[in-house]
Amino acid sequence: MRKLQSIQGLRGLAAVMVVAFHSLSIQAKYLAASSVIPAFALFGQTGVDLFFVISGFVMATTALNKPGTPAEILTFLRHRFLRIYPVYWVFFLLLTAVYLLRPEIINSSQGGKVDLLSSFLLLPSGTLPILMVAWSLTHELWFYLVFAALLLLPRAARVPAIGTWALLVLLSRFVEFPPGAFLRVITHEFTLEFILGALAGVLYMRPRQHGRSRGLGLAGLAASIGLLVLAMKGDYLDGSDVLAAIPLGRALLFGGGYALMILGFALLERSVRVPSACSWLGDISYSLYLSHLLTLSAAGRIWSAIKPSAAIPEVMFWVAAYAATIAVAYLSYRLLEAPLIRSSFYRGRAHSARNETPPAQPA
Tens-place pLDDT, residues 214-228: 888 999 999 999 999
Q: If DSSP codes are grouped into helix, strand and coil, which group holds residue 214?
A: helix
Calpha distance 224→257 (Å, rounded) = 4
DSSP 3-state of 102? coil
User: Residue 56 belongs to what domain range?
Assistant: 5-355
Domain-embedded: residue 363 = no
Q: Is residue 17 part of a domain?
A: yes
Cα 230 to Cα 209: distance, rounded to the nearest angstrom: 27
Does 362 fall in a domain?
A: no
Residue 355 has a pLDDT of 43
pLDDT value, residue 353: 40
**Structural domain includes residue 360:** no
Mind listing the pLDDT tens digit for each residue in 144-166?
999 999 999 999 999 999 999 99
The number of domains in the chain is 1
Q: What is the pLDDT of residue 276?
A: 87
Is position 361 within any domain?
Answer: no
Q: What is the pLDDT of residue 239?
A: 57
Radius of gyration of the chain from its Cα atoms, rounded to whole angstroms: 20
User: Is 349 domain-assigned?
Assistant: yes
Mean per-residue pLDDT pooled into runs of 10, the chain (363 residues): 84 96 92 81 95 97 91 92 95 93 75 85 92 96 96 95 97 87 93 98 80 85 96 81 82 97 92 86 96 95 83 86 98 94 68 46 46
How would you label 333-350 residue by residue, b for 16+ Cβ within 10 Å and e otherwise?
beebbeebbeeeebbeee
Please indicate, yes or no, if residue 126 is contained in any of the structural domains: yes
